[in-house]
Structure 1
């Protein structure tokens, strides 16, 4: 079960999101699945029906956050959705379209350069492959420039939390944070099995799974719930103030 500090933190998150006003479940009931399932292997023990139920919950929670969740049958359909977004949307500045993407097995399998070829849209990757000690700074500068030129950033994620429609991302080599932060549109691609119930389940996995414990949180773990938004000025909601103004989550079912 969560510690006292984790309990307070999660209660504050639920209160800020208004979840304590729309559900009568107690905090103990919320974490009952975490307490009763064997660990590790919590996420892997779910049936497909249970996973689809979590996806439905994720979609429902994402709607008011302006997070566009689209289930897709396979990676080919996921690539097609990204092509549609690239064709329909336009950069906030300039007229040239470009896409930046993570070096990640799931993203590599999309074959985005070939998919974007018919639109003549270049696809840049944020990896340091081929950069020796003498060219490291030059490669970093190139990545920064390419990310800044891109109007769509494509990433995967470690997990998605259905209860708060939150994408959980840990940075690794080739998976720069800037890809999800700088472009106007962020597209994340995950598999159905990566959807967890809530923050409590995420903490339980980090505590109990040997592989996750050995890797740790890496340099940064980011929790993203929809596009960047602020209402600091006259309580008027504005999207894109400190990051992407639009976010899409493609779930490969």
Structure 2
């Protein structure tokens, strides 16, 4: 028998089980005793065994269930799936287009406070300097340092306060997964993932080369990429599929209760970095 409480969970030895009648079960382990009693109640033999076929099951026809996505359709597939889960897709062909997208998002959300992850793409695009030039208050999760582990709690507290006070969070991604319209983010690249979780609006920037067709490809790339980082501090991988959604017993759907109510994914073409 297992007895559990909020502060205690212990296993105590069960006494031998005895069943009176024409069939007797004495001293059997709990699982076997329960199964035998069920068989007795159903009138089945106690020595019943499951016959297993030695024949192999036919191979799964995954291509019929999840047909491969042609390379030229990966982007459109990602954007279509993202839209299905209430996300919004944007494309920035150049620097001017990217700035216009960000201006519109800031205006629509009336955002005066923004938090940024430490994704290298944001640094390359000089997003922090751009936002500050527009008069926006910006908080950035700092780059990793030798003292990050010991200083982590203090940094996290400060960044958490800024994240929950912000109207908008901007991050990069590790991958954009086409078959489900998901964004894959990791703590290795982003730092604290509060920028994608706490503000009511999440904006994710990604490059064309980060588009991946299937989950299998994502897992394989993560395995290869993370092999030399196994000792890295704070590892986590999060798949973000759409906005935060909550439904009660009456199936009334509400967005944004436990996370962002808006999700925007912006494709950043290489010309944006020129």
TM-score (norm 2): 0.66
Measure how far apart 1:31 and its partner are. 7.1
Match of 1:241 in 2: 257
- 1:151 and 1:32 map into 2 onto residues whose CA distance is 39
Measure how far apart 1:119 and its partner are. 3.8
Residue 178 (structure 2) pairs with residue 158 (structure 1): no
- 1:58 and 1:214 map into 2 onto residues whose CA distance is 29
When the two chains are superposed, the root-mean-square deviation of aligned CA atoms in Å is 3.0
Match of 2:14 in 1: none
TM-score (norm 1): 0.71
Which aligned pairs between 1:57-136 and structure 2 lie closer than 5 A?
57-90=77-110, 97-117=112-132, 119-127=134-142
Measure how far apart 1:160 and its partner are. 1.0
Residue 226 (structure 2) pairs with residue 212 (structure 1): yes
Measured at CA, do residues 128 and 31 of structure 1 come closer, stay the same or move farther in structure 2, by a change above 3 Å? same
**Any conservation in 1 of the 2:117–2:193 contact (CA below 8 Å)?**
no
Instruction: Pick from 230, 247, 250 the counterpart of residue 266 of structure 2.
Output: 250
**Any conservation in 2 of the 1:68–1:248 contact (CA below 8 Å)?**
yes
- 1:76 and 1:70 map into 2 onto residues whose CA distance is 13
Higher RCO structure, 1 or 2 (CA under 8 Å, sep 6+): 1
**Any conservation in 2 of the 1:98–1:122 contact (CA below 8 Å)?**
yes
- 1:98 and 1:189 map into 2 onto residues whose CA distance is 18
Q: Larger helix proportion, structure 1 or 2?
A: 1
Instruction: Pick from 177, 185, 199 the counterpart of residue 169 of structure 1.
Output: 185
* Gapped regions of structure 1 (runs ≥ 5): 1-24, 35-49, 92-96
- Bigger radius of gyration among the two: 2
- 1:195 and 1:144 map into 2 onto residues whose CA distance is 29
- 1:193 and 1:229 map into 2 onto residues whose CA distance is 29
Measure how far apart 1:60 and its partner are. 1.2
SS at match of 1:99: strand
Q: Describe the superposition over 1:59-84 as per-residue Cα deviations: whole angstroms up to 9, x where unpaired.
A: 11111211101121135532431222
- 2:109 and 2:185 map into 1 onto residues whose CA distance is 25
SS at match of 1:172: helix
Residue 79 (structure 2) pairs with residue 55 (structure 1): no
**Any conservation in 1 of the 2:166–2:199 contact (CA below 8 Å)?**
yes
SS at match of 2:173: coil
Q: Describe the superposition over 1:33-55 as per-residue Cα deviations: whole angstroms up to 9, x where unpaired.
A: 69xxxxxxxxxxxxxxx655211
- 2:227 and 2:154 map into 1 onto residues whose CA distance is 34
* Gapped regions of structure 2 (runs ≥ 5): 1-59, 270-274
